[in-house]
Structure 1
Amino acid sequence: MSIPTSTKRDLRRTVAVAALAAYFGVAAALYQNENRIHAAGEALAQRRQAIESELVGVRSSLDRLEKAGDLPPSLASTLRKQEDEAAKERRESTREYDTWKQQSGAWTIKRWFVLTLATLAFFPVLLWGLQSWSLWARDKRLNRSQDE
């Protein structure tokens, strides 16, 4: 049983549209994920900067009070504790940021790999569909010219 030519052309166009839609869907999903990863990186960088500012502030307060000579032992202990906590947070933040950089770099490679594979997979189907559209347009022109 053979399929009529007009049905084949319609099927080709439908497959081409579906392939194009799938390609755009894959590209949109990759773009959305990239935006999410980028936003996470910006948040980590801002957190890191805030922690660094806190550490600098605590250290400068401690240095000023030590230079002035009126640093009570309890205040010195509290400021050193805050300095240690801020330094610990900075190390954790740096580790989180470095992990994010490694993961985002790996994701970028994966993203381009997936996009390349998707392009290679969908491109022939898209060309096949476009060819059927050009045949359809040619047939439509021929039919119009025959009707005249």
Structure 2
Amino acid sequence: MEFARSKEGIFVNQRKYVLDLLDETGLLGCKPVETPIGLNLKLQPSKAEEGVNKEQYQRLVRRLIYLSRTRPRPDIAFAVSMVSQFMHSPRPDHFNAVYRILRYFKETPGRGLLFKNHGHLQVEAYTDPDWAGSTLDRRSTSSYCTFIGGNFVT
């Protein structure tokens, strides 16, 4: 993680980790995309005959989970949660979704969070379910975010 302190506050990012990941996957020179996931993308479970390199998929998704959980990349949290559901039986379209997230990093390698002093420690939380969004079992997926003192923390 990289930290930079200024008059505005403390800026945290993982630019080097993202660039190393792009270099390792051979996507350092890829064409960037503006969003980490396609609009209305619905991933389905794998069929037995459709095999891909499961270990490579799991390794990439684990690295994405690390990025989304260690703070400065809340913008990829939803996309990573979608691709992580298929760790045990990935399909080619699951790999495509992972590579789209990586191509999004090309557009935003230094994106992070700025923590400012807003003069208060008020806690705010928001949630957003998709109400039966799964095409498989009609379960809902919910997400949330929490702010303390006006700064995003979870």
Report the TM range for the smaller structure's normalisation. Answer: under 0.3
Q: Return the index of the structure with the highest Cα Rg.
A: 1
Q: Which has the higher helix share?
A: 1
Name the TM-score, length of structure 2 as normaliser.
0.23
Q: Which has the higher strand share?
A: 2
Bigger relative contact order (CA 8 A; separation at least 6): 1
